[in-house]
Chains A and B, each alone.
Chain A
Amino acid sequence: MKILVLAETDVGRLRPASLAAIECGRQLAEPNGGSVRWLLLGAQLDTVAREAARYAPVCSVDAEKLATVTADTWAPVIARAVKQEGAELLLAGSGTFAKDVLTRAAALLGGTMASDVLGHKWVDGQLQLRRAMYAGAIVATVQLSGPVQIITCQSTAYAAAEPLAATEAIRPLAIDLADLPARVQVEAVESKRGGRPDVTEAAVVVSGGRAIKNSADFEALIGKLADTLGGAAGSSRVLVDAGIAPNELQVGQTGKIVAPEVYLALGISGAVQHMAGMKNSKTIVAVNNDPDAPIFEVANLGLVGDVYEVVPQLIERLSQRNSE
């Protein structure tokens, strides 16, 4: 099976979701002697292509026209590359990039797609994929049938790939870009993450919920504890809806799905929609003033208490330990 993995990059580096996708690709290819290659799009790709080549051979389309990511321009190029290379499976890490760009490309390739795959197995030569439905209450095993299979995989389900012993080749693809549409203008991207790591990429995620009353408190409690632990700040939906936390911090069914080493849920009651985004974390720590909050059912470690009292003490004690 010929597999192409669409690379997602951020300021000239591969995003961790892409390394998980390469790992998923390797596992899919392994039992039947398949091949895994990167499909790398963008402009001025030399540095990131060299990084990618440490993991798999690279097929690149390096053009000024692709400097800005839009589904409108990228999807046709991806579809052409897949056809030209004769790939049977196209893969990317889950996230808004893939949901936008890869999904559009999937339609140009016949619409055979499974989103947010959690696992796979081969049964009688057929690929079976596991994916969550109903905010994770149900896990379905599905089988795709169509000309090219397109998959996004959860980076929480596949570890980041290890580099290969030797660097692989980088091959530019000759793809006609003359007729790409110009219907979408990107004006600005604004991140309010505050220099902290992304929730999907951090080993420790500190998340706040309904108990947090305003942005200043969010920063002073959640942000500061995240910094103390060298982790990411996250949020439940309610704080994002209220404008207390920025949207890119939202963890849950409709936000980001995370599985860090340690997830601290602070003042989060534990709606199923939130738990869908963090229940696979290795250790879950919950602090909530309601002893019956559902979050304690998925937590490994719990303290009943007010986050406004508990978190400053946590910051103080952990800072002391850091300095010792």
Chain B
Amino acid sequence: MKILVPTKRVPDTDQRITLREDGRGINDDQLPFVINPFDAIALEEAIRLRETGCDAEILIVGIGSADYEEQLRSGLAMGADRAILVHCEESLDPWNVARILQVLVLREGPDLVLMGKQAVDDDASQVGPFLAALLDWPQATFASKVELSEDAVRVDRETDQGIETIEVTRPAVITTDLRLNEPRYASLPSILKARKKPIEQLQLEALEITLEPRIKIIGLEAPSQSRTCRRVDSVEQLVEALVEVLP
């Protein structure tokens, strides 16, 4: 069995995101970057599936600049077997990310694609369903539980209505939600071991994909979020003020 885990390199979520003075991007030169937390959950799940009996090869994929190697190494240290880095300096929209992943999936032939339900930078939540549709594979989004059976996967999905349990045939694309697991920290020996694991370097041109831009960013702003807070000293005062605003 082969599991492909696409990842995105994003600023660490603990960091304060500020707009550059020219308004064309965020101040990112000092920011620490990590694998998108939802993708780390997907990778952790792939590793757990391997640990609980399925003999899986785990392949992680990143699309970006040479800096991405650091995050791919951390994925390898968690337990992925190998990595592919598709070199691309441009910032890609979800459609083009999905098209690149489609080519890699067709090349690698995994049984499962496990990936985060969203990336915490652009919060679009598009690539998973896009990729599933391009491959004509079934999808299971927002997974909080994943169980393999003979030729299918049972998934608990976190929907607005509650937990929905579905069974999908393989191959399939599964996108992961927060409650699926807690990603492990890599141990020192596994970090050292990861240095020897292969990262295949691919140029975008070699995949013979012509980019089809779908989303153009016209401008960015950093909205102010603060309000003037009236502090009250007692529950009595709070109730008085509260009933004024209750519908």
A positions within 8 Å CB-CB of B:
10, 70-72, 75, 95-97, 99-100, 103-108, 110-116, 128, 132-146, 181, 183-193, 198, 200, 203-204, 229, 237, 240-241, 246-248, 253-254, 256, 261-262, 272-273, 275, 279, 282-287, 296-305, 310, 313-314, 317-318, 321
Contacts of B131 in A (CB 8 A): 107
With both chains docked as a complex, state the minimum distance between the C-beta of A23 and any C-beta of chain B, in angstroms: 19
Inter-subunit contact A247/B129 (CB<8 Å): no
Asked if A301 meets B232 with Cβ closer than 8 Å, knowing A141-B219, A144-B215, the reply is: yes
With both chains docked as a complex, state the minimum distance between the C-beta of A259 and any C-beta of chain B, in angstroms: 13
Inter-subunit contact A107/B133 (CB<8 Å): yes
Please tell me if B196 contacts chain A, counting CB pairs below 8 Å. no
Q: Using CB atoms, name the residue of chain B closest to A312.
A: B235
Q: Using CB atoms, name the residue of chain A closest to B213.
A: A145
Q: Using CB atoms, name the residue of chain A closest to B228.
A: A300
Inter-subunit contact B141/A317 (CB<8 Å): no
Contact with A along B166-202 (1 / 0, CB 8 A): 1111001000011100000000000000000000000
B positions within 8 Å CB-CB of A:
11, 13, 16-19, 26, 38, 94-95, 98-99, 117-118, 120-126, 128-134, 138-142, 144, 154, 157-169, 172, 177-179, 212-223, 225-239, 241-243, 245-247
Contacts A/B (CB < 8 Å), 25 sampled: A71-B139, A75-B133, A97-B159, A99-B141, A115-B125, A134-B11, A134-B120, A136-B223, A137-B17, A142-B217, A144-B216, A186-B165, A203-B247, A241-B179, A246-B162, A247-B163, A253-B123, A286-B229, A297-B227, A300-B229, A301-B238, A302-B230, A303-B235, A310-B235, A314-B238
With both chains docked as a complex, state the minimum distance between the C-beta of B103 and any C-beta of chain A, in angstroms: 15
Inter-subunit contact A247/B230 (CB<8 Å): no
Contacts of A132 in B (CB 8 A): 123
Q: Secondary structure at chain B's binding surface: helix, strand, loop or mixed?
A: mixed
Contacts of A138 in B (CB 8 A): 17, 19, 26, 220-222
Inter-subunit contact A299/B227 (CB<8 Å): yes
> Which 8 pairs from chain A and chain B are nearest by CB?
A191-B162, A111-B95, A107-B133, A103-B129, A183-B138, A137-B17, A104-B129, A107-B130
Q: Using CB atoms, name the residue of chain B closest to A72.
A: B138
User: A143 to B245, alpha carbons, bound, how many Å?
Assistant: 38
User: A92 to B229, alpha carbons, bound, how many Å?
Assistant: 35
Asked if A302 meets B159 with Cβ closer than 8 Å, knowing A139-B221, A317-B236, the reply is: no
Q: Using CB atoms, name the residue of chain A closest to B127.
A: A103
With both chains docked as a complex, state the minimum distance between the C-beta of A125 and any C-beta of chain B, in angstroms: 14
Q: A110-B214, A296-B229, A297-B227 are in contact. List 7 more A-B contacts (CB 8 A).
A: A96-B141, A96-B158, A116-B123, A133-B121, A134-B121, A229-B246, A301-B238
Contacts of B144 in A (CB 8 A): 247
Of the residues A113, A146, A300, A317, contact of B126 by C-beta under 8 Å: A113
With both chains docked as a complex, state the minimum distance between the C-beta of A254 and any C-beta of chain B, in angstroms: 6
Inter-subunit contact B227/A298 (CB<8 Å): yes
Inter-subunit contact B241/A140 (CB<8 Å): no
User: A296 to B15, alpha carbons, bound, how many Å?
Assistant: 20
User: A144 to B94, alpha carbons, bound, how many Å?
Assistant: 12
Inter-subunit contact A317/B120 (CB<8 Å): no
Of the residues B94, B157, B225, contact of A111 by C-beta under 8 Å: B94
Of the residues A191, A200, A297, contact of B229 by C-beta under 8 Å: A297
